[in-house]
Each structure stands twice: as structure tokens, then as C-alpha cells.
Amino acid sequence: MIELSDIEKRFGDNVVLHDISLQFADNSVTALVGPSGGGKSTLLRCINLLEIPTAGRLRIDEMEMGFGPGIRVDRQAVQRLRRKTGMVFQNFQLFPHRTAIENVMEGLVTVLKWSREDARRRATELLEKVGLANKADAWPATLSGGQQQRVAIARALAPSPKVLLCDEPTSALDPELAGEVVDVISQLAREGTTMVIATHDLRLASSTAQEAVFLENGAIVERGPARTLFSKPQRERTKRFIVSLTQQPVESGGSGI
């Protein structure tokens, strides 16, 4: 479904991703975990080409692109590949002058050139899916943080992307509102939505992900089945990180989550 081969990303002399090679299967959910500044968000942004990798190869579905010195990046190809992804940001990024349903419709109408009637029908279905059918005409400023994030998820799903990329989708929310978002993402996981989620929220990661990748300093420290990585990590650095989030031991006998 998605394949990253030897992906490197530099900002000047600062290397923020080091030779990342990963595969994400269709209908799978993968959690990217690790300390802040470890490269999780940059990796997501490289997958949907908001950041262009400095080197390596990226494949999503049947489309593949290579990056490196002397390789010209075709803007139209970038746009075509980007449309295979939906992105959910931690700070929602809704248009404040658009209602909830207009936010969901916007990309369908302006980018994909859908009719407003078809776009409204699709947006209505998605707002119902995320439990906000009764908030279709609400302005973002009148919505709670959890409701705004659920609108953002509906917007990201609107063009039926091949993969949903979530960058810390609960980090800006208090625990109760975060629970609303966890419930929606968990339901999408049960429905077979392919997702890659960067998160510090182990409740979200453990309830949705089949696979987990621990990143630090732009490199993969450990990866494997999420339940195993969260309950019995093999690397000492991973174990310390999980303990720092849960404040509970992660030795055999329980996940501490």
C-alpha cells in the first residue's frame, strides 16, 4: 500500500530523518511513537509530500516517486500523489469563516470540482459518521476542540483517500474531548481505514494500531506489533519511553496502558 525506501530529510545541515524504510499494509493502522522532535510529524509530512524528502523513494498504491540530488520533482505528480492521502493536524486547521459542512465540502468543490450538491451529500454522510450531523451549520468557533477535530477528520476523509495521516490528533484536547476523537478513529480502524498516526497518546495507539514504530532522532529504534511493543519492548530506550508515558512498569504481565 505505502512503501518508504531509504527516506532522508534534511533542513540545511540538520538531518531530521535518517534512511527510513517502512511498509504500511492496506487496511492497517500504524502508530508512530517517540519523543518530541524525533521525526514523527516530519515523516507524516514526507508521506503526503508537504515536505519533499531529500533522498529516497516513496510509493503509494501504484504511484511512485524518487528523490535526490539532480532529481526534478514534478509538481503535478506531487499533487496526484498527495490526493491519495488525507491529513489530520493537531490544531484542526478549519476555515473559521466556513461552517462545519462547508469545511468538509471545500476541497471537493475547489480542488476536485465536484458539484455543490454532490459535495454536500458526501459531507453530510461524513458528519454523520463522526457524530456531528446536528452541527453541520455550526461555525468552528462555536464547537469544542473535540468537535472541531472530528470535523477535520470528516474533511480529510471526504475525497476517499487511500490513507489517513493523523499528526497528534488528540494532543490539543483535554482527556474527555480526546476520548471523542479516539472513539471516532477507533471506529475508522474497525472499518478498515488505512491510517498512520503520530501520537503520544498510548490510549489512542493501543486501541487502534496493529503495528507501532518507535522513532528517536529521526531514526527507527524499534518496530513491531503494537501490543508487543507497548507491553514488552525489546530495546531499553523504547522501554524507558513507554514507562515515561504510563508511569507504570511494562514488564511481563500487562501493558500498563
**Any idea of the CA torsion for 230, 236, 241, 245, to the nearest 10 degrees?**
60
For domain 1-84+161-225, give the fold: Rossmann fold (3.40.50)
Q: What residue spans define the domains of the chain?
A: 1-84+161-225, 100-159
Q: How far apart are CA 150 and CA 153, in angstroms?
A: 5
Tell me: pLDDT of 257 over 60.
no
Instruction: Give percent of the chain with pLDDT exceeding 70.
Output: 96
When pLDDT is averaged across residues 187-193 and rounded to a whole number, the result is 92
Alpha-carbon distances, residue 63 vs 5, 23, 32, 57, 80 (angstroms): 14, 14, 23, 11, 9
Mean pLDDT lowest for which of 182-186, 191-195, 248-252? 248-252
Mean pLDDT lowest for which of 12-26, 169-183, 220-234? 169-183
Q: How far apart are CA 90 and CA 170, in angstroms?
A: 7
pTM: 0.89
- At 198-216, the pLDDT tens digits run 998 888 888 899 999 999 9
pLDDT for 201 equals 86
Give the strand pairing for 63-67 and 55-60. Answer: antiparallel
When pLDDT is averaged across residues 176-196 and rounded to a whole number, the result is 91
Tell me: pLDDT of 253 over 70.
no
* pLDDT band at residue 256 using 50, 70 and 90 as cut-offs: very low
* pLDDT band at residue 254 using 50, 70 and 90 as cut-offs: very low
**Which grid cell is 19?**
534512511
**Which grid cell is 43?**
515523516
Instruction: Give percent of the chain with pLDDT exceeding 90.
Output: 76
pLDDT for 32 equals 96
pLDDT for 117 equals 96
When pLDDT is averaged across residues 176-199 and rounded to a whole number, the result is 92
167-194 exposure pattern, b = at least 16 Cβ within 10 A, e = fewer: bbbbebbeeebbebbbebbeebbeeebb
* pLDDT band at residue 47 using 50, 70 and 90 as cut-offs: very high
Q: Please provide the average confidence, as pLDDT, over all residues in the chain.
A: 91
* pLDDT band at residue 247 using 50, 70 and 90 as cut-offs: low
